[in-house]
Structure 1
Amino acid sequence: MAGLSGYDRVYRGRQLDSRQYQDNLSEKYYDRDFIRPLDLTSLPILSEENYQSDNDIAIKKSVGIGCGLVSLITENLLIHPFIVLRRQCQVNPRATTYHLVPITLIPVMIRLHQTQGLNTLWKGIGSVLLIRGLTLGIEDLLSKITPWPKEIDNNSSIKAFGQHILLKCVSIGIVAPFYSASLVETVQSEIASEKPGILDVFRDGAIRLLEVGTKGRLIPIYALLTPHITYGVAKYLFGLIVRNVVTRIMFLRDRRSQEKLVKLHATLISMCAADVAFYPLETVLHRLHLQGTRTIIDNLDSGRSVMPLLTGYNGAFDCYRTIINSEGTMGLYKGFGALVLQFGIHFLVLKATKYILTEIGTIFKTKSKVVKTPGQMYYNDA
């Protein structure tokens, strides 16, 4: 200020050294610690929206994994009784009750439980799981020793797609005799037949493979390869198309959908659609596999007796014509009610699991934590 340039700096009557004052201005004020405001620009501010978004993604991911695990258990274990009922209905040409709707199967299941116990609905489950594992193992082995890809996607070339289908044909053909042996185990009555061992499916499959000549009414496995492979590949391609279409539709409807859940629902819908579309061909194929095997099955008209399988089909076309002429068109859909129960329960289990896991995730979800900027915050350098 004008007129004060010649005066020394003083504090409470004492003169201050100007040099000391300049050097210590940033840290000291008259030999005392200088308190500076805390710079908050470097502190991470947690946004409430970001926190909730990350939390929701984690919950959706956990729900997807949980639903996938439960769906796998349901597909391989819980719905097996309905596969048993459906196959027993399909292969019985003398059945007068077709069980086209689920309600007619309920009293039959109760009677089977009363006469044979609950285990009768789980027969053959070991061989079914072994066949599924064998199929996966063969596909994996073929993909390693050949250039045929085990999986394909939308970016795969036509050549890769053709090689993938070839891999499916070979694996289905190799598993065919063991599939036939597993089919026998799932339909034969336990009260009129000896209970098979866990690995008997491989022994019986090998025997069926070595029977190259006709033995009575038994159809050689090589004569069944063409319809068996055709059925397997056609059903796989149909399911693949349905799954891709459903996946695209679900993503278009909700782009924020959890990818694993979308694929899980699309896979289940494609399986259901494929089983419904190819049900008549499956009925024909199962009857050809069991012809001449001397299998005794449960009589699902009453649920209290057994009956032998006695058929004399000359091939797939003859079997189809015979069923149409003697049993009507609906004869190709015998046991369809079991299929409805199978996928109905599968969908209900999946929906219930998703709801329960979502509720659990909501309960345990931590409340959003937001760091607010305080009005005054200081720290001491000393």
Structure 2
Amino acid sequence: MAGLEGYERVYRGRPLEPWEAGGGYPSKYHDREVIRPLDIPVVHPLAQNSPPQDDDTTVKKYVGLGCGLASLITENLLIHPFIVLRRQCQVNPVATKYHLVPITLVPVIIRLHQSQGLNILWKGIGSVLIVRGLALAVEDLVSKVTPWPKEITCNSSLRAFGQHLLLKCVAIGIVSPFYSASLVETVQSEIASERPGIFDVFRDGAIRLLEVTNKGRLIPIYALLPATVACGLAKYLFALIVRGVTSRIMHIRHKHSQEATGAYSRDLVSETVVQDIELHSALISTCAADVVFYPLETVILRLHLQGTRTIIDNLDDGRSVTPLLTGYSGAVDCYRTIIATEGPLGLYKGFGALILQFAAHVLVLRTTKWIITEITSMLRPKPKPIKPQHSYYNEI
């Protein structure tokens, strides 16, 4: 206002300080540093710098991929020594030790390594992989030249399901001669026979296919097809049912666990959760099918090896060898002979190796999951710490 330029501004009878009059704030007040309200950083705990929410999804994705790869490698490579052990037990009709538990196999494995080397339990791995690849190739080829589907889902029609089973039967029948040749390579002793070549399985399989007449005790492949196809198809159907039921139960349990938290997570139907559930359900179904059909598999293996003049390692002591001399006329006769001469437990010879097989499989998956989780946690950026809030009033 005009005429008041020379008067000081006062408040309640005292002159106003420059900072009270709208000027700059003083840097100190009563020898204490002054902090203006706008200079105090206020960070809400929920708004702090933290890793993106997608990091957890990325970690789960890598864990799922790693476990899937580990499971694939384990199924085709790491469990082969246990397959060799259990097959040698299953096909030996004169063995006195049944090896129903894993502990009895430990000294035998040690003696085999001492007498024949570290690679004794990896024999036949090449032919086994070739037969598995051949089975996949046959299924793929047949599915392309016929309307039979190679894969089915829960929404598939009954007709498609029947065609899919027919495809499996054809694939098992075509691969059976080569399966017989591969079986010989996995059980024969390397100290009593020559080591086969990588592609000998094709030659021996073709010879077995062309042998249509009985030569000694050798059973023609066409006589083995009904039992082999029936066993393979029944085992596949059982594993398919167990896998579907197990997967459904795991989905329901995951849903209930989400409901217990009070809200559904976005991972309820995510790809990582589905992948983890499918991996575990596949492992459970494979284990259940192998356990249930173990006696029938014992019968099928003995029929395929009869008359092949195969010499196997004697797993009673792990140091000697023994020839396979059997004279079964068919699957029923083989079953009755085993029950009569070896007892009901004779159908479960080598079951301890199957227990070791699945224990190793689970251990590999658990170890892989732990290692990948730890590595991704180490590589994930750490959240920045929250700066402590400065309180001016606490200092006064």
Query: Same fold by TM (over 0.5)?
Result: yes
- TM-score relative to the length of structure 2: 0.80
Structure 1 distance, partners of 2:48, 2:207, is 67
Given the alignment of the two structures, is residue 352 of structure 1 paired with residue 375 of structure 2, yes or no? no
Which residue of 1 is the match for residue 316 of structure 2?
301
Which residue of 2 is the match for residue 258 of structure 1?
273
State whether residues 63 and 357 of structure 1, in contact with CA within 8 Å, keep that contact through their aligned partners in structure 2. Answer: yes
Structure 2 distance, partners of 1:129, 1:47, is 54
State whether residues 101 and 340 of structure 1, in contact with CA within 8 Å, keep that contact through their aligned partners in structure 2. Answer: yes
Q: Deviations over 1:33-63 (max 9, x none)?
A: xxxxxxxxxxxxx977996431111110010
Superposition CA RMSD, Å: 1.9
Given the alignment of the two structures, is residue 340 of structure 1 paired with residue 355 of structure 2, yes or no? yes
- Local SS of the residue matching 2:328: coil
The amino acid of 2:153's aligned partner reads D
**Relative to structure 1, is the Cα distance of residues 174 and 50 closer, same or farther in structure 2, using a 3 angstrom cutoff?**
farther
Which residue of 2 is the match for residue 157 of structure 1?
157
State whether residues 217 and 292 of structure 1, in contact with CA within 8 Å, keep that contact through their aligned partners in structure 2. Answer: yes
- Local SS of the residue matching 1:153: coil
Structure 1 distance, partners of 2:144, 2:226, is 25
Given the alignment of the two structures, is residue 81 of structure 1 paired with residue 84 of structure 2, yes or no? no
Which residue of 2 is the match for residue 278 of structure 1?
293
The amino acid of 1:139's aligned partner reads E
Which residue of 2 is the match for residue 116 of structure 1?
116
**Identity level (%):** 72
Q: Deviations over 1:96-151 (max 9, x none)?
A: 00000000000000000000001110000000000000000000101111000000
The amino acid of 1:352's aligned partner reads T
- Local SS of the residue matching 1:258: helix
- Local SS of the residue matching 2:321: strand
Which residue of 2 is the match for residue 230 of structure 1?
230
State whether residues 52 and 368 of structure 1, in contact with CA within 8 Å, keep that contact through their aligned partners in structure 2. Answer: no
State whether residues 328 and 334 of structure 2, in contact with CA within 8 Å, keep that contact through their aligned partners in structure 1. Answer: yes
Q: Deviations over 1:278-314 (max 9, x none)?
A: 0000000000000000000000000000010000000
1:368 positional shift:
5.0
Structure 1 distance, partners of 2:152, 2:167, is 12
Which residue of 2 is the match for residue 312 of structure 1?
327
The amino acid of 1:292's aligned partner reads G
- TM-score relative to the length of structure 1: 0.83
State whether residues 86 and 336 of structure 1, in contact with CA within 8 Å, keep that contact through their aligned partners in structure 2. Answer: yes
Which residue of 1 is the match for residue 61 of structure 2?
61
In the TM superposition, 1:73-222 aligns within 5 A as 73-222=73-222
Q: How many residues align?
A: 327
Structure 2 distance, partners of 1:314, 1:49, is 75
Structure 2 distance, partners of 1:129, 1:343, is 19
